[in-house]
Structure 1
């Protein structure tokens, strides 16, 4: 069961087939092309990892593993520090256990380099579907590095669309995720990371896109400047989740939650603080409504 955060405020806007970015001057809309109606991927399941112990450790990792014969189509993570706003997600990305031949979605998070004495927990969530129901399935990735702030994009091969995304920040004790999601055209994935505190060195970002020939509808519902939710249209189900700050440096604010609930009807996103340029929650939804 999802744990209440106690920081929800009134909803600000609802949009279908668009991504809405809330900025200090008001919401702006990034319109995506409308997709052809298709059925949701058959056999879609959500697998939670279960939470780590609620204690203070510098870094934590959790892996949610897909059932045999399934491929990971998306997923998320939740680093819950009881409202302190200091623990950041450093990774939320798909992977494959080559020994077991099983896909998974892994979440990683860390305390700030200055330390944190209170307890916190981390949980990962995998969205998985039978391999036979995912025509053209392919994972693509890209890396980028810079000092202070880094951004990366990766594009799906021609004829394919993003159905899920993921990202990781390096080094994990000195950098955190600010954003990972699909682009407005849904043919590429993007991610940004930022140095934490006064870390002076190079940081690195890895972005991953999960591509198929399935078409998708992207929707977003804005909650407020550091906490957002994206609801799927009636008749669709969430297959991938994402969100965060703007594609530019969002200041000292990092992702804490990118969450697909068990009903598979929405995505929830929260950050450690309100980012400088606003934020978005993204649900990649597939189904009979476009």
Structure 2
């Protein structure tokens, strides 16, 4: 069943605490429940697929005895602003995180590859994955929020834009709030005549030991490529990954959103082949814990 969605497409831009003013901000350490102990078995598994010019998916699989608690991916190669990571989410069963890349309707002459990255751990207390979908949209943009069960925190996010056969609808946002995730999309610069919707997946668990959310923004500018990192405080490591484009209006695509080290989340985006005259920026989310 599809859950309802708020049809005000841009209200999400001011929903995050502090809005555009956020920069290298650690959003207060959360009160803990249960014993304070490090999450065991934490690792980051990364895999890159073939380089060619066709739509493709790549999955990073967690070691035996561990499950996906977060994840992301990257696109490398040619035509990056024309290739969308349209699907980024954990697979059913929670053993792997999958990323799908697709070219826009104009296609790309060169080759490109998909990298998938999974944050894996021995299942923390209360681990559960919940999913939902927005209502079909004829609008140029839409967003959808999926909440965790009561008392649980969102530690990982997955999302997808559904309805177009290629990357004519851009997956712009995979935001991790404390108790929910928000996924947003927008039609590209040429628009899309069909209906489309958003799928959102929240990876939830009981509050993690030493849990903090770190959010960092690039600066608003009209640069064709922008990137930003969110770094976990000393003594903590990345458990969850999120990213967001602000002000891109469907003409900017995420090219990277993943944990690039055990303590750093990197988010990168690039304008499409026609460029984009307005200012925009990217935001990185890191869920950090012991």
Question: How far 1:202 moved relative to its partner?
Answer: 1.2
Specify whether residues 119 and 73 from structure 1 end up closer, same or farther in structure 2 by C-alpha distance, changes over 3 A only: same
**How far apart are residue 71 of structure 1 and its match?**
1.4
| Counterparts of 2:216 and 2:71, CA distance in 1 | 19
- 1:146 and 2:142 matched: no
The answer to whether residue 70 in structure 2 is matched with residue 74 in structure 1 is: yes
SS of equivalent residue, structure 2 residue 252:
coil
Shift of 1:228: 1.2
Instruction: Provide the residue aligned with 1:211 in structure 2.
Output: 204
Deviations 1:200-241 (A, max 9, x none): 211111111111013321113334443111000000000111
Cα deviations across residues 163-207 of structure 1 (Å, max 9, x unaligned)?
Answer: 111111113513221010212xx1000110122332121111111
Structure 2 gap segments, 5+ residues each? 1-15, 221-225
The verdict on how the C-alpha distance between 1:91 and 1:159 changes in structure 2, with shifts beyond 3 A counting, is: same
Q: Residues 218 and 281 of structure 2 are in contact (CA less than 8 Å); yes or no, is this contact kept in structure 1?
A: no
Conserved? CA contact 2:68–2:121, under 8 Å: yes
Number of matched residues?
254
TM-score, normalising length from structure 1? 0.79
Residues in 1 aligned to 2:254 and 2:156: alpha-carbon distance in whole angstroms: 17
Q: Tell me the SS of whatever aligns to 1:85.
A: helix
CA deviation after TM superposition for structure 1 residue 19, in Å: 6.8
Following the alignment from structure 1 to structure 2, what is the Cα–Cα distance between the partners of residues 267 and 19?
19
Of 203-212 and 172-181, deviating more is 172-181
**Using the alignment, how far apart are the partners of 2:61 and 2:17 within structure 1?**
29
- Aligned partner of 1:258 in structure 2 is 257
Q: CA RMSD in A?
A: 2.4
User: In structure 2, how many angstroms separate the alpha carbons of the residues matched to 1:150 and 1:285?
Assistant: 29
SS in 1 for 2:133: strand
Q: Deviations over 1:118-174 (max 9, x none)?
A: 11111101111113xx11111111211312212110111111101111111113513
Map 1:113-262 to 2 at 5 A.
113-131=105-123, 134-144=124-134, 145-147=136-138, 148-170=140-162, 171-173=164-166, 174-183=168-177, 186-196=178-188, 197-215=190-208, 216-225=211-220, 226-246=226-246, 250-261=249-260
CA 1:127/1:31 → structure 2, altered by over 3 Å: closer, same or farther?
closer
- Distance in 1 (alpha carbons) for counterparts of 2:154 and 2:104: 32
1:8 matched to which residue of 2? none
Q: What does residue 46 of structure 1 align with?
A: 44
Question: CA separation in 2, counterparts of 1:255 and 1:61?
Answer: 16
Secondary structure at the residue paired with 2:59?
Answer: strand
| 3-state SS of 2:81 partner | coil
1:93-122 Cα deviation digits (max 9, x unpaired): 01135xxxx611000111111111111111
Question: Secondary structure at the residue paired with 2:137?
Answer: strand
The match for 1:104 among 75, 96, 106 is: 96
Aligned to 1:114, the other structure's residue is in SS state coil
Structure 1 residue 28: Cα displacement: 4.2
Distance in 2, Cα, partners of 1:75 & 1:172: 24
Shift of 1:40: 3.5
Shift, 1:41, TM fit: 1.2
Task: Out of 206-215 and 271-280, give the one that drifted further.
Answer: 271-280
CA distance in 2, matches of 1:89, 1:189: 18
